[in-house]
Chain A
Amino acid sequence: MKIKMTRLGLILGCLVCSVFSTAELRIEVTKGADNAVRIAVIPFEWRGRGSLPESVAEIITSDLGFSGRFNTLPVTQMLSLPNTAEEVFLRDWKLLDVEYLVMGYLTERGPDLALHFELYNIYEQTTDISEIIVGSDLDLRDMAHYASDTLYEALTGIPGAFSTQIMYITATGENDSREFRLNVADADGRRIVTVLQSREPILSATWSPEGERIAYVSFERDSRPAIYIHNLVTRTREQVTAFTGLNGAPSFSPDGTKLAMVLSKDGNPDIYILDLKSKPRRLRRVTRHYGIDTEPSWSHDGRSIVFTSNRGGQPQIYSMGLNDLRIERLTFEGDYNAKASLLKDGSGLVMVHRREGIFHISHLDLKRGRLRVLTETSLDESPSIAPNGSMLIYATQVGGRGILAGVSIDGGVKFNLPSNQGDVREPSWSPTKRKNFVPVSK
């Protein structure tokens, strides 16, 4: 299953740099689920004037396809093209062994569009979902992703993540011509916007919980590192730190009021927490060790963090309660465990784990203490969990080039997001949807 996507030049509000990247990402599913659901997404009828800039059915087909949990029927194999349940001839679909139909149509509603979509169960002969959402013609992609999310949740019980975004960093050129970009794209790799462009390194970009702000490390000033908080909505940013030494690994607390980070201003890389609300901002040092402490990541309740430390001789994952600063080692298997993120329910974490000299993304079940390697590629790093908790995206190397790839937490589904240029790295999955819709009554 290979879905090729071409770049779409939709006019989005550009951010600080207002540069559209020419890079393109396209999703290739490399391993689908064993029990993929057979589904047909039937072209949606447009019942208005003129034509629409996007095909809603194509977007939904590619969304469901790249989740790896569905086998989508190509339009060319469909025997009929119903738009409502009343138009369905069951025999047409039973012949093709299709389990579910997605169908619908679009109408004009004042200056806006209304998207009607439904999910039809062939075997039960029931309509499981039927919704109408309204938006402008510029919202068409977002409306289609909303439908994908709704359908995905109805069919799998897991909220969809097709309306979310992915932030990542690209590096092109070598030495003096090296160029770094911080990009934000839709979860399907489309609508790429460059937020920042620099000849000096940009790294460790991370989202705030409300999805409006991002924090990152940039070496743009005198080639020295500093942490910035950048507001994607107001398109403004501020330099938060520029201490001597490391200024790295920013991570927003779950309530968005604090930023954990790594500073080495006091001699060693230690973890600090900056209170963004207090004036002047208070900086609290939470680790004190001559070893390397880095890569803090918050628990969902904001009461503890996990971090990487080589205090035991090699990098391992530790957790620390922020009230008592009590530290507990979490990983014991392997001689290199780093960059951990806790799953929302706290049941486990994902991290970079070295096994036989190869760096993989692994899942550690904290209750059973069981470690599972999720990826078969090498030099894997920067795992970032989707807001639905069921997938994660990470950076890896294929053919000597950095690309993004994804894997489900159960390891059952895998996909690649190859880019047509440069190294792509450090993906970070947005915690929120790009745009949300509320179904309207019929």
Chain B
Amino acid sequence: MALMKRYCGPMLAIALLALAGCASTTQETSSGPAPELQAPETSMEVENVLVEIEPIKPMVSRGRIILPLDELDAAAGSETLKGLFYFDFDQAIVRRSGHSELDRHAGVLSGNSMLSVRLEGHADERGTREYNLALGERRANAVQAYLIAQGVSRSQMEVISYGEEKPADSGHDEGSWTKNRRVEIVYR
């Protein structure tokens, strides 16, 4: 719901289209009186402004990218792209299972040259700290290479490795290590 509101707010050009979606979702979740009264007025204005509609842009919130699902049907809502990609021990190969999500990132980035990302590479705690810094960089580089191959400009990406210094999970078993061997795509 919160995302829906943010998404509706700043995009003035498509505000009118979106309002229908906003209103309906508000109605569904609000416990107060339903805002039925406004519906006729807004639907009047929709037609007037439609010509000025620009493509819906993805939004960045807290380093994550929020994608509208369908430009013409705002009611379809939005979706946050997954920004976490996991790796095997001492490996820096992007798993096949992550390809489709990376392709979507590539689509967003290559279509919006104003957007930039930080590719943050991480390792689990096993092994030495400096080696793990290098390994984290390898992983982030692998993601970068994949995105470049999908048409993203190198200038939109910054690679930083934190090695084992910023674990996502502070545990000390395989379950935690699996979550810590990762690259995070952080939008700026």
Contacts and interface: CB of A to CB of B under 8 A. Distances in A.
A271 B129 CA distance: 16
Main secondary structure, interface of A, reads strand
A201 interface: yes
A224 B126 CA distance: 22
A209 B53 CA distance: 67
A319 interface: no
Given A178-B166, A246-B134, A269-B134, A400 B129 contact: no
B128 A262 contact: no
Interface in B136-188: 137-138, 159-163, 165-166, 170-172
A292 B131 CA distance: 8
Contact of B160 (A178, A223, A338, A352): A223
Interface string B86-113: 0000100000000000000000000000
Given A264-B137, A269-B137, A308 B131 contact: yes
B133 interface: yes
Interface-centre pick from B133, B159, B161, B163 (highest chain A CB count, 10 A): B133
Given A219-B162, A359-B126, A295 B172 contact: no
Given A201-B162, A292-B138, A397-B172, A426 B131 contact: no
Interface-centre pick from B129, B138, B162, B171 (highest chain A CB count, 10 A): B129
B128 A338 contact: yes
A266 to B, nearest CB: 13
A382 B126 CA distance: 12
B126 A339 contact: no
Given A203-B129, A379-B172, A292 B134 contact: yes
A381 B90 CA distance: 16
A37 B135 CA distance: 47
Given A292-B134, A379-B172, A400-B172, A315 B127 contact: yes
Interface residues of B, number: 23
A308 B135 CA distance: 12
Interface in A214-233: 219, 223-225
Given A262-B134, A294-B134, A397-B172, A204 B129 contact: yes
A379 B125 contact: yes
B54 interface: no
B130 interface: yes
A73 to B, nearest CB: 40
Interface residues of A, number: 36
A224 B119 CA distance: 12
A219 B90 CA distance: 23
Contacts of A203: 129-130, 133, 163, 165
A362 B170 CA distance: 27
Contacts of B129: 203-204, 381-382, 425-426
Contacts of A204: 129-130
B144 to A, nearest CB: 12
Given A246-B137, A262-B134, A294-B134, A339 B128 contact: yes
Given A178-B166, A269-B137, A249 B130 contact: yes
A338 B131 contact: yes
24 contacts: A171-B165, A201-B163, A201-B165, A203-B129, A203-B130, A203-B133, A219-B165, A223-B160, A224-B160, A225-B160, A245-B137, A246-B137, A248-B130, A262-B130, A264-B134, A292-B135, A292-B138, A294-B133, A295-B128, A336-B127, A339-B131, A379-B125, A379-B126, A381-B129
**Which 7 A-B pairs have CB atoms at the shortest separation, nearest pair first?**
A201-B165, A292-B134, A269-B134, A339-B128, A338-B128, A249-B130, A294-B130
Given A178-B166, A203-B130, A314-B90, 6 more contacts: A174-B170, A201-B162, A219-B165, A269-B134, A294-B130, A379-B125
Interface of A: 171, 174, 178, 201, 203-204, 219, 223-225, 245-246, 248-249, 262, 264, 269, 292, 294-295, 308, 314-315, 336, 338-339, 352, 354, 359, 379, 381-382, 397, 400, 425-426
